[in-house]
Amino acid sequence: MFKQIEGLPENVLGVEVSGKLTHEDYVEGMLPLCDEMLEKHKPLKMMLVIAKDFDGMELSAMWDDMSYGIRHWNDLSHIAFVTDEGWIRNMTALFKPFFPGEVNFYRLDEVDQAKDWIGGGRELAA
């Protein structure tokens, strides 16, 4: 499931993901939230916190994520990934050279550093 992270600058969409992501999570939660933010802010910055209890995604949710991401590839200027899962970092890092914006990775205990970076665009990642 998705939970919006409050207290970030208005041009930053912060989301925490936990459990197993479903098609309904995207259609009813994440995609409308992204659309609403993109109407107000382009380019948009995003902070994605992947909780310890994240249990993967349904295939249909992966498709939702991929197809939406491709359509809005140039609408994001910064993405901060916050996770302790090495496989998620490695998989996401494969796309980093192709992403037109800035991407940084943080551990869960570095969430405040991620907020600082995404809020100001400073290069703070280790």
pTM: 0.88
User: For every one of its 126 residues, what pLDDT tens digit does the chain have, with 9 covering 90 and above?
Assistant: 999 999 999 999 999 999 999 999 999 999 999 999 999 999 999 999 999 999 999 999 999 998 998 899 899 999 999 999 888 888 888 888 888 889 999 999 999 999 999 998 554 444
Q: Give the span between the Cα atoms of 126 and 74, in whole angstroms.
A: 25
Sign of CA dihedral 22, 28, 41, 74: positive
Query: Which top CATH class is 2-120?
Result: alpha beta
Q: Which of 36, 47, 34, 17 is CA-nearest to residue 120?
A: 47
Q: What's the order of all strands across the beta sheet hosting 102-106?
A: 2-4, 12-17, 44-50, 76-82, 102-106
Q: What pLDDT is recorded for position 125?
A: 43
Which tokens sit at 48? 């994605």
Residue 125: CA atoms inside 13 Å, Cβ hemisphere, count? 17
Q: What are 109's strand-pairing partners?
A: none
Q: What pLDDT is recorded for position 122?
A: 53
Catalogue the E-assigned strands of 1-126: 2-4, 12-17, 44-50, 76-82, 102-106
